[in-house]
């Protein structure tokens, strides 16, 4: 049997335990022990890392980049490497050393490196195009032409129709797609046409890379002869020729003959056994429900085809501004 003294001792122990647990539940546990001071080995490692970083910075200042980057990567200083490559790439771009700039910026994904890569592509493209003359064929953009989706889209070939003030007017070498001028048979202007919307909202968006879009100019097509002078930024980027232009830039009916691609035929374009196409112009025909076009033999049909005829092709036109 527990005597009185044992009972009081047990009661005090129980009270002490209850008090301790109540403090713990209220977040008033004993303070944590202070952090241990760094060991000599840790201090030595930190000092070595600082020495390596100083050495890497010195190598960068001496333009010994490969050795500097190796040290920085070993220290986990990837951001330092990216920043250095970015700054060198931008400097190379601004100096016209596009190959070097591309090598430095490709895959970097740092700041606006992707923007500079697009500008480099535009510059290289412009340089490649700058030597072209009227009548030459150049390549720009891609579009399905063989109706074989498994092998991707084919490069678009363009004929240089005119060069003025360094700007080039291009027309596709082949008829690329069967597209109606309007959705229904009614008086339809070029500005309100389905064909204009398709060219600028579908074809332009999908056929060209960002670099290619950078050199395609907005064009004012409200007159018989298009112009880039004072053209608003929301003007057409892609269009079709007018009657005036098609007579001006092609020497003869034979010169105006265009051939359908396989895709063009599959999309519904009219084609004889020789695959010669009929293609749209943007000028009015004899009545509002008709628009001018070019016959399969290259003659200009000014009376025009009904706007919803269903079998005319399109030869897109663009105006580009390469560096000359």
pLDDT digits (tens, 9 = 90+) for 95-115: 989 999 999 999 999 999 998
Name the more confident of 86 and 166.
Answer: 86
* pLDDT(258) > 60: yes
178 membership: H or E segment, kind and range: strand 177-178
Residue 238 near residue 274 (C-beta atoms within 8 A): no
Nearest-10 Cα torsion for 237, 240, 244, 250: 110
- Among 98, 89, 100, 158, residue whose Cα is nearest residue 124: 98
* pLDDT(139) > 90: yes
- What integer is the mean pLDDT of 211-240? 91
- What integer is the mean pLDDT of 82-102? 94
Q: What is the pLDDT of residue 30?
A: 52
Residue 175 near residue 315 (C-beta atoms within 8 A): yes
- Among 305, 272, 317, residue whose Cα is nearest residue 170: 317
CA distance 177 to 63: 54
Q: What is the pLDDT of residue 12?
A: 46
- For residue 123, how many other CB atoms are within 10 A of its CB? 19
Q: What is the pLDDT of residue 323?
A: 62
Helices (H) and strands (E) in the chain, counts: 12, 9
- pLDDT band at 40; cut points 50, 70, 90: confident
* pLDDT(21) > 50: no
Mean pLDDT of the chain, nearest integer: 87
CA distance 137 to 124: 18
Longest pairwise C-alpha distance within the chain: 129
* pLDDT(17) > 60: no
Three-class secondary structure assignment of the chain = CCCHHHHHHHHHHHHHHHHHHHHHHCCCCCCCCCCCCCCHHHHHHHHHHHHHHHHHHHHHHCCCHHHHHHHHHHCCCHHHHHHHHHHHHHHHHHCCCHHHHHHHHCCCCCCCHHHHHHHHHHHHHHHHHCCCCCCCEEEEEEECCCCCHHHCCEEEEEEEEEEECCEEEEEECCECEECCCCCCCCCCCHHHCHHHHHHHHHHHHHHCCHHHHCCECCEECCCCCCECCCCCCCCECCECCCHHHHHHHCCCHHHHCCEECHHHHHCCCCCCCCCECCEEEEEECCCCCEEEEECCCCCEEEEEEECCCCCCEECCEEEECCCC
- Among 252, 268, 255, residue whose Cα is nearest residue 176: 268
112 CB contacts (<8 Å, ≥6 apart)?
none
**Residues pairing with 163 in the sheet:** 168
* pLDDT(227) > 80: yes
20 membership: H or E segment, kind and range: helix 4-25
* pLDDT(5) > 70: no
Q: What is the pLDDT of residue 318?
A: 98
- pLDDT band at 3; cut points 50, 70, 90: very low
Q: What is the pLDDT of residue 35?
A: 63
- pLDDT band at 45; cut points 50, 70, 90: confident
- What integer is the mean pLDDT of 230-234? 84
* pLDDT(241) > 70: yes
CA angle at 269 for the pair 263 and 270, rounded to the nearest 5°:
135
Q: What is the pLDDT of residue 33?
A: 57
- pLDDT band at 11; cut points 50, 70, 90: very low
- pLDDT band at 141; cut points 50, 70, 90: very high
Tens digit of pLDDT for each residue in 243-252?
Answer: 999 999 999 9
* pLDDT(81) > 90: yes
Q: What is the pLDDT of residue 18?
A: 42
The pLDDT > 70 percentage for the chain reads: 88
Predicted TM-score of the model (pTM): 0.72
- pLDDT band at 273; cut points 50, 70, 90: confident
The number of residues in the chain equals: 324
Residue 169 near residue 216 (C-beta atoms within 8 A): no
- For residue 209, how many other CB atoms are within 10 A of its CB? 14
Q: What is the pLDDT of residue 229?
A: 80
């Amino acid at each position: 049997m527990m005597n009185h003294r044992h009972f009081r001792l047990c009661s005090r122990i129980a009270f002490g335990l209850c008090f301790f647990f109540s403090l713990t539940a209220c977040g008033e546990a004993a303070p944590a022990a202070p952090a241990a001071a760094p060991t000599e080995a840790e201090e030595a490692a930190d000092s070595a890392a600082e020495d390596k970083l100083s050495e890497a910075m010195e190598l960068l200042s001496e333009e010994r980049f490969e050795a500097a980057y190796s040290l920085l990567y070993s220290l986990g200083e990837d951001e330092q490497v990216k920043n250095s490559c970015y700054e060198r790439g931008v400097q190379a771009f601004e100096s016209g050393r596009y190959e070097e700039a591309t090598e430095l910026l490709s895959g970097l994904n740092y700041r606006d490196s992707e923007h500079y890569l697009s500008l480099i592509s535009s510059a290289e493209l412009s340089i490649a195009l700058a030597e072209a003359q009227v009548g030459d064929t150049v390549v720009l953009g891609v579009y399905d032409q063989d109706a074989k989706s498994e092998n991707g889209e084919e490069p678009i070939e363009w004929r240089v129709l005119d060069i003025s003030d360094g700007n080039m007017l291009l027309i596709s070498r082949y008829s690329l797609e069967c597209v109606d001028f309007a959705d229904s048979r009614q008086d339809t202007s070029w500005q309100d046409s389905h064909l204009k919307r398709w060219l600028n909202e579908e074809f332009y968006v999908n056929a060209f890379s960002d670099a290619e879009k950078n050199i395609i100019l907005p064009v004012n097509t409200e007159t018989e002869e298009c112009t880039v002078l004072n053209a608003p930024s929301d003007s057409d980027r892609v269009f079709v020729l007018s009657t005036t232009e098609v007579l001006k830039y092609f020497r003869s009916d034979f010169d105006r003959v265009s051939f359908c691609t396989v895709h063009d035929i599959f999309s519904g374009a009219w084609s004889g056994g020789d695959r010669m196409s009929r293609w749209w112009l943007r000028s009015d025909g004899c009545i509002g429900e008709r628009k001018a076009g070019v016959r399969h033999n290259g003659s200009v049909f000014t009376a025009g085809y009904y706007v919803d005829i269903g079998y005319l092709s399109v030869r897109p036109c663009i105006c580009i501004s390469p560096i000359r």
